[in-house]
């Protein structure tokens, strides 16, 4: 698949699977198993987080409910400005709920810090983040991300939900692209 486009596999399917189970087991310990309205609410950020969200939810040994948001950050295609527009909002009120934002990748951290502020203003019982990937620049923005799958180098990656011009999301691993793909 996508023969000739992938320069290297950064994180294999197997590594993703193992780390997802580890994260899920650690995180589950911090939440009580309660009444249905007490279930942990996973908020997936479309579209990048979809594969991680579904695998993570199935690895969690506690009941969860799922909601999705889609946001778009203004700025160039390669760097975000921190000004965010909601393309799809949550369907439900999250007041009093234990909310865990499920993210694909934190790069500058600007999108996430906006999202954290937006969701906190809706008065959840708790608000945390789990992200599959994090890049070094993310540390410049003070957002409290307790749960990180992998810290990766400052390179553009695709696969397992992450796209380049909407392609490569369906790869089962995280990889880097050949420069020829960008027209290089
Ligand atoms: P931030 O506001 O943290 O800079 O932006 C994060 C968003 O930028 C991610 O949700 C993702 O959509 C996009 N992004 C950042 N780095 C990469 C990358 O290496 N590959 C891909 N495909 N998207 C990225
Ligand atoms: Mg994202
Ligand atoms: Mg994208």
DSSP string covering 108-129, please? Answer: SSHHHHHHHHHHHTT--SEEEE
Q: Domain limits at 67? A: 12-154
Q: Compute the residue count for the chain.
A: 184
Predicted ipTM of the assembly: 0.95
User: CATH number of the domain that 49 lies in?
Assistant: 3.40.50.2020
Structural domain includes residue 95: yes
Ligand 3 geometric centre to CA of 48 (Å): 7
Structural domain includes residue 161: no
pTM of the full predicted structure? 0.93
What total number of domains does the chain contain? Answer: 1
Q: Check: CB of residue 3 under 8 Å from CB of residue 171.
A: no
Structural domain includes residue 29: yes
Q: Check: CB of residue 150 under 8 Å from CB of residue 123.
A: no
Cα R_g (the chain), whole angstroms: 16
* Predicted local distance difference test score (pLDDT) of residue 35: 62
Q: Which one of 5, 89, 107, 142 is the catalytic residue? A: 107
Structural domain includes residue 173: no
Task: Verify whether residue 107 is a known catalytic residue.
Answer: yes
Q: Which of 162, 166, 175 most suits a substitution to test ligand 1, by most atoms within 8 Å of the C-beta?
A: 162
SS3 for 4? coil
Q: Quickly tell me which residue has 């409290």 as its tokens.
A: 144
Residue 158: exposure state from Cβ atoms within 10 A (0-12, 13-18, ≥19): buried
- 107 Cβ inside 6 Å of ligand 1: yes
* Predicted local distance difference test score (pLDDT) of residue 36: 65
Structural domain includes residue 4: no
Positive/negative CA dihedral, 167, 172, 174, 180:
negative
Strand residues in the chain grouped as ranges (E): 6-11, 40-46, 64-75, 80-88, 98-106, 126-134, 147-151, 157-158, 174-177
Structural domain includes residue 167: no
pLDDT tens for the 184 residues of the chain, in order = 898 999 999 999 999 999 999 999 999 999 877 666 689 999 999 999 999 999 999 999 999 999 999 998 766 555 666 678 999 999 999 999 999 999 999 998 888 999 999 999 999 999 999 999 999 877 777 677 789 999 999 999 999 999 999 999 999 999 999 999 988 6
Structural domain includes residue 85: yes
* Predicted local distance difference test score (pLDDT) of residue 59: 98
């Amino acid at each position: 698949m996508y023969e000739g486009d992938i320069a290297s596999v950064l994180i294999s399917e197997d590594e993703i699977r193992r780390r997802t189970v580890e994260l899920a087991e650690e995180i589950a310990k911090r939440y009580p198993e309660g009444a249905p309205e007490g279930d942990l609410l996973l908020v997936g950020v479309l579209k990048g987080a979809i594969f991680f969200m579904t695998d993570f939810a199935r690895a969690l040994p506690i009941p969860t409910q799922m909601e999705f948001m889609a946001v778009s950050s203004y700025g160039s295609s390669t760097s975000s400005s921190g000004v965010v527009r909601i393309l799809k909002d949550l369907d439900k009120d999250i007041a009093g709920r234990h909310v865990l934002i499920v993210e694909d990748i934190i790069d500058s951290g600007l999108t996430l810090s906006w999202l954290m502020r937006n969701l906190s203003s809706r008065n959840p019982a708790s608000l945390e983040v789990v992200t599959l990937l994090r890049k070094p620049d993310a540390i410049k923005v003070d957002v409290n991300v307790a749960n990180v799958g992998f810290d990766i180098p400052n390179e553009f990656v695709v696969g397992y939900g992450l796209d380049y011009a909407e392609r490569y999301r369906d790869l089962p691993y995280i990889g880097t692209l050949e420069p020829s793909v960008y027209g290089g």
